[in-house]
Amino acid sequence: MCPRPPMWEEMVVGTDPGLIEIAGLKKTFGTVRAVDDLSFTVPSGTVTGFLGPNGAGKTTTLRCLLGLVTPTSGTATIGGVPYARLPHPSATVGAMLEAASFHPGRSGRDHLRVYCTINGFPDSRADEVLGLVGLTGPGKDRVAGYSMGMRQRLGLAAALLGDPRVLILDEPANGLDPEGIAWLRGFLRKMADEGRTVLVSSHVLSEVEQTVDNVVIISRGSLVRQGTIAELADSHGTAVLVRGPEMPRLAAALPEHVTATESAGGLRIVGSSTDEIGHVAFTERIELSELAAERSDLEDIFLALTVDGGQR
Amino acid sequence: MTRLLLGELRKLRTTRLWLWMLIGACAVTAIFLSFLIPLDGAEGNPNPPLSTVEGQRALFSSAGAANVFVLILGIIAVTGEFRHQTVTPTFLATPHRGRVVISKLVTYLLVGAVYGIVVMALALAIAAVWFSAKGIDLAGEALPGAIGAIVLSMAVYAVLGVGVGALVRNQIAAVVGALVYLNVVEAFLGVLPGVKDVYPYLPGGANAALIDTGQPGVQDLALLEPWQGGLLLVGYGVVFSVVGSWLAVRRDIT
């Protein structure tokens, strides 16, 4: 297991220069409410998954945070300061928004060098970040010939150019092959362990499930749930699965506060624990061939939380 | 601001567009001169003979047609950022959007001037070869004014392009719109009774005054003085850019 990240409560607003804070954020495009009164925080030293189905308002939220979109109301700050007022934005925040933000006729290396010039970083920094993302060789080729995965890596390289304390990545796993996703996981973990803030959006929970410490789940522009992955799993209630030759006897012997339903040749018991069921079976001398806690599929929880528009 | 200017230059240097536009500008200049010089003294040619100062001025002014290439270069400097979504990293690096537009204006003023110098050097080289073959002397007093006017016109057209691009972010709409306006709409306005008095104050009319040549068919119009035309043209570029960047500051980048 990775080192335990600081708890949300331990982080005091204003003392963490890498703290991302979204407060009462609203953005309407015409009549469409893209983001509706959204509030959450992301502390330093953690990887936070920003999850929601396509169209939930993730990208709009990130663009508000980066000063590219003006919120209708509310604030989005980094270390208490709006992005546009940061003294050195590129050295503070690294962002990767869409994979296609390159001129196809320019080489990946030249793309990075343009921003080295503008930000006052040495040109050698372009080669360093190309090395970090594994693009040293192809960096000299024109972007037009890059695969989707290579563009994602180049986007990540651009985000890393200023060695930022805050990383904001919009769907970075899109277009990556399984090997690339595994690499990305390790990379984000390393970034957070170095004390950086990492906010990574995705519409597929399983893509980030193994990497993130915390999740912020939104649907239709509103917050559905914020917490750790473990809290998310617990919140959904757990069930115990049992199988054996004497299931009717077991059902009769169960305490009153649990409910048992027949399931695949056994019982699915909600409101109890494997400890309690095992104890009941032992005292009643009921033979069991299987006793297991049902593994909550996080993807199912995620779908349940988001599919009905966040109504709990 | 220096870093922004160098960054803009680097953007320009690292794609091939600058080369194609330079080739285009040089090709137009070479073609115009190579057509006009042999026609010297031919029947029905309204231009003054090349042996006169006026004739040589008119000849070099024809190189002004190359300014459409720097106009397009300036337009694409802005619209290309939106087309390829590089505007996102650009505004992330420089959240003060007005500074981005200002750095493009200054960069392209210089780039346009450099294109103008290259084009005029080419024009002089072509003229020198033809003139020596025809036994005509280059008229020294015609050159500084003509060269200065073309270089200034190219510099200002590049600025005008940046302004148009900031105003109309769609690349095709901006390029086609600007070309159609300058070559069709203004030519039409220039001959339309009632409207044609306005022509000298339009961008094309101001440019015609600056490089001291008339639009075809509108030679009878009273154009502004060259310096007035130049100032007016700069004014158009700045106004477009100010309005464009004023809008850009408010627009969401999605």
Q: What is the mean pLDDT of residues B102-115?
A: 93
**Domain carrying residue B151:** 2-250
- The candidate with the shortest Cα–Cα distance to A278, out of A249, A259, A262, A254, is A254
Q: What is the pLDDT of residue A121?
A: 94
* Cα A263 → chain centroid: 33
Q: What Cα–Cα distance (Å) separates residue B5 from each residue in B8, B105, B108, B177, B200?
A: 5, 9, 9, 27, 33
Identify residues of B whose CB sits under 8 angstroms from chain A CBs.
3-4, 6-7, 10-11, 14-17, 80, 84-86, 88-89, 91-96, 250, 252-254
Q: What is the pLDDT of residue B249?
A: 66
Confidence grade of residue B218 (pLDDT, cut at 50, 70, 90): very low
Q: What is the mean pLDDT of residues B43-60?
A: 78
Which is higher by pLDDT, B240 or A142?
Answer: A142
Cα distance between residue B152 and residue B109, in whole Å: 9
Q: What is the pLDDT of residue B22?
A: 93
Sketch the domain layout of chain A as residue ranges.
8-234, 238-295
Confidence grade of residue B216 (pLDDT, cut at 50, 70, 90): very low
Terminal Cα-to-Cα distance of chain B (whole angstroms):
26
Cα distance between residue B19 and residue A115, in whole Å: 22
C-beta atoms of A118 and B91 within 8 A: no
Min Cα–Cα distance to chain B from A18, Å: 17
Min Cα–Cα distance to chain A from B59, Å: 37
Q: What is the mean pLDDT of residues A180-207?
A: 88
Q: Is A160 on the interface with B (CB under 8 A)?
A: no
DSSP symbols for chain A: -PPPPPPGGGPPTTT-TT-EEEEEEEEEETTEEEEEEEEEEE-TT-EEEEE--TTSSHHHHHHHHTTSS--SEEEEEETTB-GGG-SSHHHHEEEE--TT-S-TTSBHHHHHHHHHHHHT--THHHHHHHHHTT-TTGGGSBGGG--HHHHHHHHHHHHHTT--SEEEEESTTTT--HHHHHHHHHHHHHHHHTT-EEEEEES-HHHHTTT-SEEEEEETTEEEEEEEHHHHHHHT--EEEEE-TTHHHHHHHS-TT-EEEEETTEEEEES--HHHHHHHHHHTT---SEEEEPPP-HHHHHHHHHHTTT--
Q: What is the mean pLDDT of residues A90-109?
A: 88
Residue with token string 């392209």: B108
User: From the list A97, A103, A115, which residue is nearest B93 (CB)?
Assistant: A115
Residues B91-127: b if buried by 16+ CB within 10 A, e if exposed: bbbbbebeebbbbbbbbbbebbbbbbebbbebbbebb
Confidence grade of residue B213 (pLDDT, cut at 50, 70, 90): low
Min Cα–Cα distance to chain A from B13, Å: 9
> Which of A244-253, A298-307, B210-219 shows the highest mean pLDDT?
A244-253
Q: Does residue B4 surpass a pLDDT of 60?
A: yes
Confidence grade of residue B215 (pLDDT, cut at 50, 70, 90): very low
Q: What is the pLDDT of residues B139-170, one digit of tens each?
A: 777 678 788 888 988 998 998 899 888 888 89
Q: What is the mean pLDDT of residues A159-180?
A: 89
Q: Considering chain B, what is the average pLDDT of its residues?
A: 85
Q: What is the pLDDT of residues B164-193, one digit of tens each?
A: 888 888 999 999 999 998 888 887 877 777
Within 8 A by CB and 6+ apart from A260, the residues are A250, A251, A254, A267, A268, A269, A270
Q: Which CATH number fits domain A8-234: 3.40.50.300, 3.40.33.10, 3.40.50.1100, 3.40.140.10?
A: 3.40.50.300
Q: Does residue A271 surpass a pLDDT of 80?
A: no
- The candidate with the shortest Cα–Cα distance to A108, out of A143, A62, A82, is A143
Min Cα–Cα distance to chain A from B75, Å: 16
Partners of residue A115 in chain B, C-beta under 8 Å: 7, 89, 93
Sheet holding A197-202, edge to edge: A93-96, A166-170, A197-202, A47-51, A214-219, A222-228
Confidence grade of residue B242 (pLDDT, cut at 50, 70, 90): confident
Q: Does residue B44 surpass a pLDDT of 50?
A: yes
Please return the burial class of A30, using the count of CB atoms within 10 Å of its CB with bins 0-12, 13-18 and 19+.
exposed
Cα distance between residue A94 and residue A168, in whole Å: 6
Q: What is the mean pLDDT of residues A192-220?
A: 87
Q: Does residue B220 surpass a pLDDT of 70?
A: no
On whether the CB atoms of residues A268 and A260 are closer than 8 A, the answer is yes
Q: What is the pLDDT of residue A119?
A: 93
Confidence grade of residue A236 (pLDDT, cut at 50, 70, 90): low
C-beta atoms of A68 and B88 within 8 A: yes
- The structure tokens listed for B193 are 């009774």
> Which of B52-61, B109-118, B207-216 shows the highest mean pLDDT?
B109-118
Q: Is A104 on the interface with B (CB under 8 A)?
A: yes
Q: Does residue A198 surpass a pLDDT of 90?
A: yes
Q: Which CATH number fits domain A238-295: 2.60.40, 3.30.70, 3.10.20, 2.60.120?
A: 3.30.70
Tell me the ipTM for this assembly.
0.84
On whether the CB atoms of residues B199 and B186 are closer than 8 A, the answer is yes
Cα distance between residue A277 and residue A290, in whole Å: 11
Upper half-sphere CA count for residue A145 (Cβ side, 13 Å)? 9
Confidence grade of residue A164 (pLDDT, cut at 50, 70, 90): very high
Q: Does residue A312 surpass a pLDDT of 90?
A: no
Q: Does residue A42 surpass a pLDDT of 60?
A: yes
Q: Does residue B131 surpass a pLDDT of 90?
A: no
Partners of residue B80 in chain A, C-beta under 8 Å: 103
Confidence grade of residue A166 (pLDDT, cut at 50, 70, 90): very high
C-beta atoms of A106 and B252 within 8 A: no
* SS3 labels along chain B: CHHHHHHHHHHHHCCCHHHHHHHHHHHHHHHHHHHHCCCCCCCCCCCCCCCCHHHHHHHHHHHHHHHHHHHHHHHHHHHHHHHCCCHHHHHHHCCCHHHHHHHHHHHHHHHHHHHHHHHHHHHHHHHHHHHHHHCCCCCHHHHHHHHHHHHHHHHHHHHHHHHHHHHCCCHHHHHHHHHHHHHHHHHHHHHCCCCCCCHHHCHHHHHHHHCCCCCCCCCCCCCCCHHHHHHHHHHHHHHHHHHHHHHHHHCCCC
Domain count of chain B? 1
Q: Considering chain A, what is the average pLDDT of its residues?
A: 85
User: From the list A63, A106, A117, which residue is nearest B7 (CB)?
Assistant: A117
Q: What is the pLDDT of residue A10?
A: 44
